[in-house]
Amino acid sequence: MDPQGSPGERHLQEQCGTQARAARFYADQMLDHLNPRMREFIALQEMVFVSTSDGRGECDATFRAGPPGFVTVLDDRTVTFPDYRGNGVMASLGNIVENPHIGLLFVDFFRDLIGLHVNGRAAVVADEIMRAAHPMLPVPDIPGRRAERWVVASVEEAYIHCSKHIPRLAKLPRQRHWGTDDVKRKGGDYFGVRAFAAGSPPAR
């Protein structure tokens, strides 16, 4: 990735007169690796927003969560996170197979109210291969939560997400049902999609 931004960024910076501000941000806030503070930050996070796109550039955004450290920093240019049994669609992983570009956004809603963007290129690696290469990877002690594969991302950009509009949230206890195919426990047809697919909108 261009350390001075994409052509689209530069075009709009010139059009909007923000070149000087953008240049300061690139110089002062953007790295092509993870510094020690960034590595410590990722190790504390319990969630990450993941953006991918397929070979045609059609985008998808998703959410991953786990205990602190579920996203593992392998070194200052590589991070990895587990992929568990899900709905079987493989939307994000399918995108990565076609187009390796990935964007990760870590947001601390609970303590420091700050975010970290990590952009780069990703690959999908089987669990047994990852554990042979990196035996220190975490093994959750939760039935139904064994990783089937891992997303490995090579870091090309790492930079801050401003704290100004990040809300402070509070954690509340909840019961989770890992590894279930029970429709109700997974959220059911919350948005009424099945009824629309059948030709009749759901009753309110």
Please check the confidence at residue 143 and state whether its pLDDT lies above 70: no
Q: How many helices (H) and strands (E) does the chain have?
A: 6, 8
pLDDT band at 203 (very low <50, low <70, confident <90, very high): low
Range of the domain at 95: 32-170
* Within-domain flag for 193: no
- % the chain with pLDDT above 70: 87
In this predicted model, what pLDDT tens digit does every residue of 36-69 receive, in sequence order?
Answer: 999 999 999 999 999 999 999 999 999 999 899 8
* Within-domain flag for 182: no
At residue 201, the pLDDT reads 59
Q: Which of 24-28, 32-36, 173-177, 179-183 shows the lowest per-residue confidence on average (mean pLDDT)?
A: 179-183
The arithmetic mean of pLDDT across residues 154-176, rounded, is: 92
pLDDT band at 181 (very low <50, low <70, confident <90, very high): low
Q: CATH number of the domain at 108, please.
A: 2.30.110.10
* Within-domain flag for 181: no
* Within-domain flag for 184: no
* Within-domain flag for 187: no
* Within-domain flag for 11: no
pLDDT band at 194 (very low <50, low <70, confident <90, very high): confident
Q: Comparing C-alpha atoms, which of 113, 103, 10, 7 is closest to residue 64?
A: 103
Q: Could you tell me if 127 and 147 are in contact, meaning their C-beta atoms sit under 8 angstroms apart?
A: yes
The arithmetic mean of pLDDT across residues 157-176, rounded, is: 92
* Within-domain flag for 140: yes
* Within-domain flag for 15: no
- Please tell me the distance from the alpha carbon of residue 85 to that of residue 16, in angstroms, as a whole number: 46
pLDDT band at 73 (very low <50, low <70, confident <90, very high): very high
Number of domains the chain contains: 1
For 100-148, strand residue ranges (E) read 101-108, 114-126
pLDDT band at 4 (very low <50, low <70, confident <90, very high): confident
Mean pLDDT of the chain: 90
Tokens of 170: 């509070």
pTM: 0.88
Q: Could you tell me if 86 and 110 are in contact, meaning their C-beta atoms sit under 8 angstroms apart?
A: no
